[in-house]
């Protein structure tokens, strides 16, 4: 299902900003492109990604006849340096993709190395998982310069340049240094760590300097923005105005703010009401029977708290024995970074933990845990959201966590209960969820019991409040909020 209802709907929901994007081209820069090229018999075809960023920006890029710059993901389609126009089958509005070509060695050092074995764990406060490799850093530096060079080839001073995420933290300063007329914006989709964590990074200073090449830097929540300002003040000794969220640099200011990303609420709600999803949900429910369904959905990543969640389910089964044949915990784990050793080790631990728990508590041929290790389509996922009596979303640390929001939007019957980690950015908005410390196994197990026993009226009241907020502050609100000061 194509979310967002097309360009006309996007224009309506962007409100006054539609005029901005209609008169100025939007240039988006990210590690990955929104469309993946694949070889087919008739030539190269392009498959649209399903992430929240793609959902939000795809129609806006069409409005502005924009450009998206990024890597093709190593699909082997040989897109080096190419520009491709992406257009709707029925419609004139389109935008272009510009492919950044990376060698296998660059991908290994820049992406799997520095981005995901150094910055990712540091930004999520997992210092012990970080690996500090100067070769990886040099390749990261070089690759960011390469991305910046591509932007310099393509962009004009009138363009709105929006760089995304930790993979490209050096890009804004590279751009500003080489062409001061270009004024990039930046958004970080992970947490930003506190000073005592971030200063462990040997290259913390150039990372900060790279980000400060931006006109504006966006974070999901105020705590991340505050951490960034602390680091700028203590590491760079730069003046910071905390009340207005401004870093004062020679000759200019950098705005720093919190802008919680969201989802296309209407798209998920409408998907949940389709006949296809309802049929899938009914099929699942007829197979499961009247068991209480508890659902976890994550990328297979050590930051997501999957192992601790499994231990909490195990503790629940130990403490509340009468539920041993009356619940089913479904854990969807999407394969992630399978080339990184830490992720392979984690998968083995998760597999073994699930096997051990199922071995302990399987009764009458029905194991208490169902494990799905693959990427699900939106329709498949929303069908599981619909039948889930409880969503157990308990990351150890998460920038936002859009799964929690997708679950809320898909709960058209308003009888689900969201149990959410207090360490996810979403916890600051989804305050009607049952908030837990994911490392407190006893309390999480108690909270599962509380969710099961929650009266129907309370479930409805909590869910309606979360849905009302989410409908108001959807993905288009996020874009408007970020660019409200741009003219």
- Residue positions annotated with a catalytic role: 189, 398
Closest CA to 137 of 203, 72, 91: 203
Cβ contacts of 23 within 8 Å, gap of 6 or more = none
Do 123 and 303 touch, CB atoms closer than 8 A?
Answer: no
Do 401 and 260 touch, CB atoms closer than 8 A?
Answer: no
């Amino acid at each position: 299902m194509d979310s967002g209802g097309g360009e006309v709907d996007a224009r309506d929901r962007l409100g006054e900003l539609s005029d901005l994007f209609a008169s100025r081209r939007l240039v988006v820069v990210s590690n990955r492109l929104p469309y993946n090229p694949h070889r087919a018999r008739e030539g190269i075809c392009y498959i649209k990604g399903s992430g929240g960023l793609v959902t939000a920006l795809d129609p806006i890029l069409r409005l502005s006849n924009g450009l998206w710059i990024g890597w093709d993901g190593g699909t082997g389609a040989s897109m080096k340096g190419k520009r491709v126009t992406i257009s709707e089958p029925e419609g004139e509005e389109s935008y272009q993709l510009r492919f950044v070509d990376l060698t296998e060695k660059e991908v290994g050092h820049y992406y799997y190395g520095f981005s995901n074995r150094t910055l990712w764990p540091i930004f999520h406060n997992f210092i012990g998982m970080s690996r500090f490799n100067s070769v990886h850093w040099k390749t990261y530096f070089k690759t960011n310069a390469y991305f910046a060079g591509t932007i310099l080839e393509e962009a004009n001073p009138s363009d709105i340049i929006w760089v995304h995420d930790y993979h490209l933290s050096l890009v804004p300063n590279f751009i500003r240094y080489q062409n001061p007329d270009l004024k990039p914006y930046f958004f970080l989709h992970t947490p930003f760590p506190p000073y005592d964590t971030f200063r462990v990074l040997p290259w913390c200073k150039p990372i900060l300097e790279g980000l400060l090449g931006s006109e504006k830097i966006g974070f999901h929540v105020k705590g991340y923005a505050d951490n960034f300002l602390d680091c700028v003040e203590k590491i760079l000794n730069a003046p910071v105005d905390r009340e207005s969220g401004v870093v004062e640099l020679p000759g200019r200011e950098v705005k720093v703010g919190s802008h919680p990303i969201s989802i296309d609420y209407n798209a998920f709600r409408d998907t949940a009401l389709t006949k296809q999803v309802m049929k899938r949900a009914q099929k699942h429910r007829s197979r499961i029977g009247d068991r209480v369904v508890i659902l976890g959905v994550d990328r297979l990543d050590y930051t997501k708290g999957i192992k601790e969640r499994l231990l909490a389910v195990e503790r629940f089964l130990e403490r509340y024995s009468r539920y041993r044949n009356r619940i089913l915990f479904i854990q969807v784990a999407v394969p992630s970074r399978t080339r990184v050793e830490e992720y392979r080790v984690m998968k083995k631990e998760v597999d073994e933990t699930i096997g051990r728990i199922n071995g302990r508590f399987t009764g009458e041929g029905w194991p208490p845990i169902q494990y799905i290790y693959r990427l699900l389509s939106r329709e498949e996922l929303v069908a599981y959201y619909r039948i889930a009596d409880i969503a157990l979303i308990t990351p150890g640390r998460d920038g936002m966590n859009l799964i929690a929001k997708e679950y809320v939007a898909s709960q058209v019957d308003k009888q689900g209960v969201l149990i959410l980690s207090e360490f996810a950015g979403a916890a600051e908005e989804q305050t009607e969820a049952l908030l837990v410390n994911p490392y407190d196994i006893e309390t999480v197990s108690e909270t599962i019991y509380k969710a099961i026993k929650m009266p129907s009226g309370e479930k409805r009241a909590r869910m309606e409040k979360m849905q009302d907020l989410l409908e108001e502050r959807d993905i288009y609100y996020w874009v408007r909020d970020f660019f409200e000061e741009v003219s």
